Amino acid sequence: MIILAFFFAHWYISLFCQTFFLHRYAAHKMFTMNMFWEKFFYLLTYVSQGSSFLSPRGYAILHRMHHAYSDTDKDPHSPHHTENVFTMMWKTKDIYNDYVNFRKDPEPQFDRNYPYWKALENIGDSWPSRIAWGTFYVLVYIAAFIWLDMHWAFFFLLPIHFLMGPVHGAIVNWSGHKYGYSNFDNHDKSKNSLIMDVLMMGELFQNNHHKLPNRLNFAAKWFEFDPTYPIIKVLSWLNIIQLKPVKVKA
């Protein structure tokens, strides 16, 4: 059905931008790219996340804090210091907004070396933009309902479209620190929730990632699969991104 294709396209393109551009590039700088491609993926992130656009700067700051203070009371999104997934994400939203709107200065070690496109940040974080994208999603569903005989129950997918970025974050930060198995003792609660993470494109290998935070491949064992890793290798082969040399210990 066309509406499901639209939903899954929105889910996975938005998710790819979050794990590839916001997480692995903006927060960790696992690879480099020239200014053209940085602006391209910045714009793709805005288009794919739409009404739930997340600032690369804001994302980078919070994610670096998450690694530094994993599952402590200073972690901006640990499920172990909030009552439920909704209060966890509300706490995250408040901290995120403080930094994105420059109401609060982050610790200096977290506030550096990330992409920042001020004009697009201002557009993406504005209510007119968020409302316009939300209206677009609604119109797509109304059109499908009128002309494609879509069942009315599919309208319940709209809140996920509206909040796609935070929904992805909620799944990763809640499930990835509560459910699953551990390959490493990281002195936190991080877990690997799936062994073939096609649902979240590798983001649910939280235990592996907290042990090896700058490793491109979030999978660590032979039976694990990170779907974003082969895409990164293809982008490197096409010279769209440049992988950093692997440091070998003497």
pLDDT (mean) for 172-188: 96
pLDDT at 178 over 60: yes
pLDDT at 85 over 80: yes
Pair of tokens at residue 16? 């790819």
Task: Please give the Cα distance from 39 to 45 (Å, whole number).
Answer: 10
Domain boundaries, the chain: 2-243
Task: Please give the Cα distance from 164 to 159 (Å, whole number).
Answer: 8
Q: How confident is the model at residue 1 (pLDDT cuts 50, 70, 90)?
A: confident
Question: What pTM did the predictor assign?
Answer: 0.94
Task: Please give the Cα distance from 198 to 4 (Å, whole number).
Answer: 17
Q: How confident is the model at residue 248 (pLDDT cuts 50, 70, 90)?
A: very low
Task: Please give the Cα distance from 185 to 208 (Å, whole number).
Answer: 10
Note the maximum CA span of the chain.
66
Burial environment of residue 138 by CB neighbours within 10 A (0 to 12, 13 to 18, 19 or more): middle
The model's pLDDT over 195-236, given as tens digits with 9 standing for 90+, comes to: 999 999 999 999 999 999 999 999 999 999 999 999 999 999
Q: Quick one: what percent of the chain has pLDDT higher than 90?
A: 96
Token pair 């983001």: residue:
203
